Amino acid sequence: DTGVSQNPRHKITKRGQNVTFRCDPISEHNRLYWYRQTLGQGPEFLTYFQNEAQLEKSRLLSDRFSAERPKGSFSTLEIQRTEQGDSAMYLCASSFIVTGADTQYFGPGTRLTVL
Amino acid sequence: AQSVTQPDIHITVSEGASLELRCNYSYGATPYLFWYVQSPGQGLQLLLKYFSGDTLVQGIKGFEAEFKRSQSSFNLRKPSVHWSDAAEYFCAVGGSLQGAQKLVFGQGTRLTINP
């Protein structure tokens, strides 16, 4: 068990550019979550997958954001036409659930800076 | 709607002193409760969780928390803090009310340790 990994760890981009982040969950975890954390705040839910199905998206996820988990393993989060307000830490978490409660394990995050 | 309040934005304690971080939640059913810790620029590490059963839960690094339903609280405690405990602490609530077990986080409490 190597934990949740995220790449890149840091990304600096210019306003209007597209960026893509990758998350590799803990092996055999069937749920994968994306959160966004701005400075001085707690993480906020963006979206989650059960296997390859995207089951919920937050109102925070505008049309410029898209997430995929094509084979139920790794996931990508793409932001198109970045804006300065997108600057934040993007956190990925994974869990294994059959029924009942799940425990989410977080990766180190990708810090995005939009200039 | 789910919500979490961490009343203390910043707490300073001396090394060796006891610690209590407060967390109050709002949730329409039995909540799942978590405490995570975050070091600067890093992801979140799970300290402990409450799903059901014994209301006093033990976690890693000598931390414990007590679920008090009547007070809607889940305070984190440690009898003697170490300099390495300096970090940001987040309380979170999750559950199955809306299908997805997304976590709702508090704003966080930043802990500073005086030598």
Residues B20-45 have pLDDT tens digits of 999 999 987 878 999 999 998 888 99
B44: contact with A, CB 8 A cutoff: yes
Asked if B41's CB is within 8 angstroms of A104's CB, the reply is: no
B46 and chain A: CB distance < 8 Å anywhere?
yes
pLDDT at B31: 87
Residue B19 has pLDDT above 60, yes or no: yes
pLDDT (tens digit per residue) in A25-77: 999 899 999 999 999 899 999 999 999 999 889 988 889 999 999 988 999 99
Judged by DSSP in three states, B114 sits in strand
Mean pLDDT of B95-112: 82
The confidence band for B97, taking pLDDT boundaries of 50, 70 and 90, is low
CA distance A26 to chain B (A): 14
Beta carbons of B46 and A4 less than 8 Å apart? no
> What is the C-alpha to C-alpha distance for residues B112 and B115, in angstroms, rounded to an integer?
10
B32–A contact, CB cutoff 8 A = yes
pLDDT of residue A100: 73
pLDDT in tens, B55-89: 999 999 999 999 999 999 999 999 999 999 999 99
Beta strands in A1-115, from DSSP E residues, in sequence order: 5-7, 10-13, 19-24, 31-37, 44-50, 53-57, 65-68, 75-79, 88-95, 105-106, 110-114
Inter-chain touch B108–A41, beta carbons under 8 Å: yes
Strands A10-13 and A110-114: parallel
Mean pLDDT of chain A: 93
Phi, psi of A111 (to 5 degrees): -90, 120
Name the band, by pLDDT with cuts 50, 70 and 90, for residue A1.
low
Which of A37, A29, A36 has its CA nearest to residue A77? A36
Q: What is the DSSP string of A70-88?
A: TTSS-EEEEESS--GGG-E
- A49 chain-B contacts, CB cut-off 8 A: none
> Residue A101 has what pLDDT?
77
* pLDDT value at B101 more than 90: no
